């Protein structure tokens, strides 16, 4: 067994980690950290539990410790669910102390020697780990997963990027409130409403998507060269991000070929049969009113992205349109980090 800890274990993403690690066959949860406000309390007393399952036994009685590597003993991998400003300071400290940090936070994602990875999309970027250790003199290392809305988009773009020539991608998101964390969006702001701005989100989607689909050339990732333009919106949905995607191709395409490409898409996690890997990373729904967040976010235990309304645009030539739904705190956060850790455990540790 590999001993693991969660940094920021009391938050929205931290809770998902606990749920997903509750019965993991290879990763043993031993340590939970949070802010000084929570440190010293039993987990069940420190957390405002929001998931619709009981707090797993494995976590209930663990005493939460401060997010400090000196407080964390005998742990191989820490999952980071910390706010980005805190992550920027403490994640390097954990890596320096010899631990593998699998992070959800944005802080280190675009550092040139830190892999930003979706295992089905760009597992080869993990080669940057060697450079990172050399550059920084760390025994451990940091690997990041992208932002929640980017993960779902990039998973659907990968098979298309491999088969067609993409010119421009426009994406309009309808993002769940859990994406902003427990204290993120006040109910008075979102009930009966929609907020047409999420700070920093559009830039993350535009930059991270091209980075994920970019080529690792020696020690540098050269971003993919098509255009991505995002418009991000918060909606009154608890979990599950929906995205309307418009792709301008450079050549005519056939919708059946697009569907085939989604349907057949598999990556390294499926080949290696990793525990958290969905059998089908992309699920196609043919009904005209799907996907919907409440009905499709839990597909493949929340690890698959569901795509529907795949069609040619009637107005713009050579333009493909579809809608996707992905679970933002599972595939878009905790599940993504756990799959990264399973891959690291298989090919690096």
**Structural contact between residues 93 and 140, judged by C-beta atoms closer than 8 angstroms:** no
125 annotated active-site: no
Q: Which of 5, 69, 179, 281 binds ligand NAP (CB under 6 A)?
A: 179
The C-alpha R_g of the chain, in whole angstroms, comes to 19
Within 8 A by CB and 6+ apart from 349, the residues are 2, 76, 100
- Whichever of 197 and 316 has its CB closer to ligand NAP, that residue is 197
| Under rule CB under 6 A, residue 152 binds ligand NAP | no
Tell me if 84 contacts ligand NAP by CB under 6 A: yes
Q: Which of 4, 12, 152, 185 binds ligand NAP (CB under 6 A)?
A: 12
Binding mask 183-222 for ligand NAP (x = CB under 6 A): x---------------------------------------
Catalytic, out of 24, 148, 232, 327: 148
Site membership for ligand NAP, residue 34 (CB under 6 A): yes
β-bridge mates for residue 97, sequence order: none
**Nearest to ligand NAP by Cβ — which residue?**
11
Residue 181 binds ligand NAP, judged by CB under 6 A: yes
Give yes or no: 241 in active site: yes
* 9/249 with CB nearer ligand NAP: 9
Q: How far apart are CA 338 and CA 344, in angstroms?
A: 10
Give how far Cα 113 sits from Cα of 6, 144, 171, 223, Å.
Answer: 23, 11, 28, 14
Two tokens at 104? 């959800």
Tell which one of 81, 232, 249, 258 touches ligand NAP (CB under 6 A): 81
Per-residue DSSP letters for 188-255?
A: HHHTT-EE---TTHHHHHHHHHHHHTSEEETTEEE---SEEEEE--EES-SS-EEEEEEEEESS---H
Question: Of 173, 178, 276, 337, which lies in the binding site for ligand NAP, with binding defined by CB under 6 A?
Answer: 178
Mask 92-111, x = binds ligand NAP (CB under 6 A)? ------------xxx-----
* Exposure class string for 96-115: b at 16+ Cβ within 10 A, else e: ebebbbbbbbbbbbebebbb
- 275 scored as a contact of ligand NAP (CB under 6 A): no
Phi, psi (degrees; rounded to nearest 5) at 331: -60, -30
Active site residues: 148, 241
Which residue ranges make up the site for ligand NAP (CB under 6 A)?
A: 8-14, 34-35, 37-38, 67, 81-84, 86, 104-106, 147-148, 178-179, 181-183, 328-329, 332-333
């Amino acid at each position: 067994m590999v001993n693991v800890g969660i940094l920021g274990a009391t938050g929205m993403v931290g809770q998902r980690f606990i749920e997903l690690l509750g019965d993991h066959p290879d990763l043993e949860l031993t340590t939970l950290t949070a802010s000084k406000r929570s440190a010293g309390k039993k987990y069940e007393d420190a957390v405002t539990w929001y998931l619709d399952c009981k707090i797993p036994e494995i976590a209930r009685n663990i005493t939460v410790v401060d997010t400090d590597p000196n407080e964390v003993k005998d742990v191989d991998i820490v999952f980071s669910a910390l706010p980005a400003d805190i992550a920027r300071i403490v994640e390097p400290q954990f890596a320096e102390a010899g631990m593998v940090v699998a992070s959800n936070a944005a802080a280190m994602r675009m550092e040139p020697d830190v892999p930003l990875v979706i295992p089905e999309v760009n597992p080869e970027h993990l080669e940057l780990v060697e450079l990172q250790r050399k550059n920084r003199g760390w025994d451990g290392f940091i690997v990041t997963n992208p932002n929640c809305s980017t993960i779902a988009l990039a998973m659907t773009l990968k098979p298309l990027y491999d088969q067609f020539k993409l010119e421009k991608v426009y994406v309009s998101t309808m993002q769940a409130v859990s994406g902003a964390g427990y204290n993120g969006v006040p109910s008075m702001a979102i009930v009966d409403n929609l907020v047409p701005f999420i700070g920093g989100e559009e830039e993350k989607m535009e930059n991270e998507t091209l980075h994920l689909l970019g080529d690792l050339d020696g020690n540098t990732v050269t971003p993919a060269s098509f255009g991505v333009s995002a418009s991000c919106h918060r909606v009154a949905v608890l979990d599950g991000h929906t995205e309307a995607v418009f792709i301008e191709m450079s050549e005519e395409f056939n919708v059946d070929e697009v569907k085939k490409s989604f349907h057949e898409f598999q990556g390294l996690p499926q080949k290696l049969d990793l525990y958290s890997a969905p059998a089908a990373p992309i699920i196609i729904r043919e009904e005209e009113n799907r996907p919907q967040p409440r009905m499709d976010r839990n597909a493949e235990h929340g690890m698959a992205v569901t795509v529907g309304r795949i069609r040619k645009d009637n107005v713009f030539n050579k333009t493909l349109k579809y809608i996707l739904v992905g679970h933002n705190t599972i595939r878009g956060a905790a599940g993504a980090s756990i799959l990264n850790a399973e891959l690291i455990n298989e090919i690096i540790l």
